[in-house]
Chains A and B, each alone.
Chain A
Amino acid sequence: GIQVEQSPPDLILQEGANSTLRCNFSDSVNNLQWFHQNPWGQLINLFYIPSGTKQNGRLSATTVATERYSLLYISSSQTTDSGVYFCAVEPMGGNNRLAFGKGNQVVVIP
């Protein structure tokens, strides 16, 4: 099946710092989404971004489908940004079934 690799696995940030999270995938995809799992376990959809660039407040994401990677940018990080960020992809013909990476564990310290 499709492989999804996220880096770095762990990241500690000072409040106010910027960071970039990366997601590499091994095959062409119909669908790529970024999620944030907060410390209580709730998964929040951040971006649906199979290609191109999107921005939402302090977060932005870019997917280069031809090179099979996506980047999530966090600017001016806040303690509420702490949690695990997951990249999930749907391979071609995947019927909305998502394969998740192992996640980026982010801790923002005040």
Chain B
Amino acid sequence: SAVISQKPSRDICQRGTSLTIQCQVDSQVTMMFWYRQQPGQSLTLIATANQGSEATYESGFVIDKFPISRPNLTFSTLTVSNMSPEDSSIYLCSATGGQGPLAFFGQGTRLTVV
């Protein structure tokens, strides 16, 4: 199975600031994704991280708020910009393609905005 490392694992941030989350996969994968899990809720897909091009965002998510990079097959970043307390969530990186359609997840980044 693919091993996905996310950094940081948790952070407490001031409102109005930005945080960049890093995701590193230990093997080449086809697809990388970013999900948000609000407190006590399910996972919602933010965007597909496309290698070398702009990410594809789901309805309700925009590039200005959640800029994403994917410079190569195994690394991606998600930035949460101009944060407000409503952005307090777990952000999870996911990857598929290393072992067919199986999706693997990082341990998540637990973000609290104060």
Report which B residues bind A (CB closer than 8 A): 1, 30-31, 33, 41-45, 48, 58, 90, 92, 94, 96-97, 100-105, 107-108, 110
User: Contacts A102-B42, A103-B42; is A45 near B104 (CB within 8 Å)?
Assistant: yes
Q: Is the CB of A45 within 8 A of B108?
A: no
Residues on B with C-beta less than 8 A from A100 are: 42-44
Query: 1/0 per position for A72-105, CB-CB distance to B under 8 A?
Result: 0000000000000010101000011111111100
Closest B residue, CB atoms, query A98: B103
A101:B42 contact, CB within 8 angstroms: yes
Residues of B within 8 A of A43 (CB): 92, 105, 108
Q: Please tell me if A33 contacts chain B, counting CB pairs below 8 Å.
A: yes
Known: A33-B101, A96-B96, A100-B42. 18 other contacts (CB 8 A): A31-B101, A41-B107, A45-B1, A45-B105, A90-B101, A95-B31, A96-B30, A96-B31, A96-B97, A96-B103, A97-B48, A97-B58, A98-B33, A98-B45, A98-B94, A98-B103, A100-B43, A103-B42
The number of A-B residue pairs with CB atoms under 8 Å apart is: 56
A7–chain B nearest beta-carbon distance, Å? 14
**Size category, A interface:** 20 to 34
Beta-carbon contact of B42 and A45 below 8 Å: no
A35 to B33, CA, bound (A): 16
Interface hub of B42, B58, B100, B107 (most chain A Cβ within 10 A): B42
**Nearest chain A residue, comparing its CB with the CB of B92:** A43
Residue on A nearest B100 in the bound complex, by CB: A48
For residue B102, which residues in chain A have a CB less than 8 angstroms away from its CB? 33, 45, 48
Partner of A95, one of B41, B48, B107: B48
Is A56 at the interface (CB under 8 A from chain B)?
no
A19 at the interface (CB under 8 A from B): no
